[in-house]
Chains A and B, each alone.
Chain A
């Protein structure tokens, strides 16, 4: 029993330290956009909050619902929307990075199933420190900003 305790504690300690590393990066309000049936791609958005004292970098992501998940961004150049793949997404120490419509997003490519509004999908984020964050994201229809009524 005593012999087993040491490795057990070690594993426990390791698990905790990895978990705490990942906890420094908190994900808020994640969601994935519902797209028409048969649509090959969609985008996921979220807020990344870094509570830690070091910059964290999102280096990859994956999901069981698509063949590939890539990190992408949009930039508006002379009125033209350009979507490009990015290598990584940085979250500064004590800072926030927003993945939001019209900007940075996770791009789910070659969807394996139709994402219906109201359902949840899983995405795993991989960080530069080797830690991973498992997320469950609601599928949402594109949100509209409220508009005033015109009679």
Chain B
């Protein structure tokens, strides 16, 4: 199948608009109004265990599947990563190589790039673990429509990070193509991925 670039972009844009509309009409539970009212995505360069990783490193026909989380999250984050790994595994092979999953830790105080690497490797999905400066992460999360908040706990954990648990699909320009909420089914995640990647009618 040959890709027609222009049509691909049109398709992606349409999908983006559609997904955007769905999200803002369907479940507009905008957490405490701290996220951008119309998340558009943003390019980023963050730190991985192998140095800087930038969205612009992706090829034009690749998409990043982004998740904001932290490794001290014992339940929601691993579930989301297993969910992501399964959806990617079930993608047709020629599409699989066009998705780069990225786990952005919003807990840079505890998650060093090395710890992140050990964490993401466990899910065997080729996930890249990245993190950065607090300020930078806060801004980036907002640009994608993610929200998180550090909360001190009366617990041996010290603090937890309350966070949204959505997936974001973005291209190498940092443009948000689709948002998939935490309660998306595996099928929906897969369908959205396939749609976004295959929107290239001859």
Given the known A-B contacts A38-B115, A41-B74, A81-B182, are A144 and B82 also in contact in the complex, defined by CB atoms under 8 Å?
yes
CB interface residues, A 77-122, toward B, < 8 Å: 77-85, 101-102, 105, 107-110
Given contacts A80-B164, A101-B75, A105-B75, contact A147 B185 (CB under 8 A): yes
Tell me if B52 is interfacial: C-beta within 8 Å of chain A.
no
Question: A39-B119, A150-B191 given as contacts; is B186 within 8 A of A144 (CB)?
Answer: yes
Q: Does B76 contact A (CB under 8 A)?
A: yes
Q: Please tell me the number of chain B residues within 8 Å of chain A, measured between CB atoms.
A: 47
Q: Are B182 and A79 interface neighbours, CB within 8 A?
A: yes
Q: What does the 1/0 interface line of A39-83 toward B look like (CB < 8 Å)?
A: 111110000000000000000000000011010101001111111
B153 engages A107 (CB within 8 Å): no
- Determine how close the nearest CB of chain A comes to the CB of B163; give it in whole angstroms: 6
Asked if B173 lies at the interface with its beta carbon under 8 angstroms from chain A, I say: no
Tell me the complex Cα distance, A90–B103, Å.
Answer: 36
What chain A residues lie within 8 Å of B87 (beta carbons)?
Answer: 147
Partner pick for B79 among A82, A83, A142, CB 8 A cutoff: A142
Q: How many residues of A contact B (CB 8 A)?
A: 41
A79 to B33, CA, bound (A): 12
Q: Please give, as numbers and ranges, the residues of chain A lying within 8 Å of B154 by CB-CB distance.
A: 85
How close is A20's CB to chain B, nearest CB, in angstroms? 33
Asked whether B25 is an interface residue with its Cβ less than 8 Å from the other chain, the reply is no
> Shortest CB–CB separation between residue B148 and chain A, in angstroms?
8
- Min C-beta distance of B22 to chain A, whole Å: 14
Residues from chain B with a CB closer than 8 A to the CB of A82 are 151, 160, 162
Alpha-carbon distance A110/B83, docked complex (angstroms): 25
Contact of A149 with B90 at beta-carbon distance under 8 Å, contacts A79-B27, A80-B147, A107-B74 already known: yes
A144 with B157: CB separation less than 8 A: no
A-chain residues with CB within 8 Å of residue B166 when the two chains form the complex: 79
In the complex, what residues of B have CB within 8 A of residue A37's CB? 118, 122
In the bound complex, residues from chain B placing their C-beta under 8 Å from that of A144 are 82-83, 86, 186
- Indicate whether A148 reaches chain B with its CB closer than 8 angstroms: yes
Query: How many whole Å from A82's CB to the nearest CB in chain B?
Result: 5
B200 within 8 A of A: no
Which residues from B are CB-within-8-Å of A109? 155-157
Known: A78-B30, A85-B154. 20 other contacts (CB 8 A): A33-B74, A36-B121, A38-B115, A38-B118, A43-B75, A70-B157, A74-B75, A74-B76, A79-B29, A79-B31, A80-B149, A83-B75, A85-B153, A107-B74, A109-B155, A109-B156, A142-B82, A144-B83, A144-B86, A149-B90
Smallest CB-CB A-B distances: 9 pairs: A36-B122, A147-B186, A68-B156, A142-B82, A43-B74, A79-B29, A109-B156, A85-B155, A41-B74
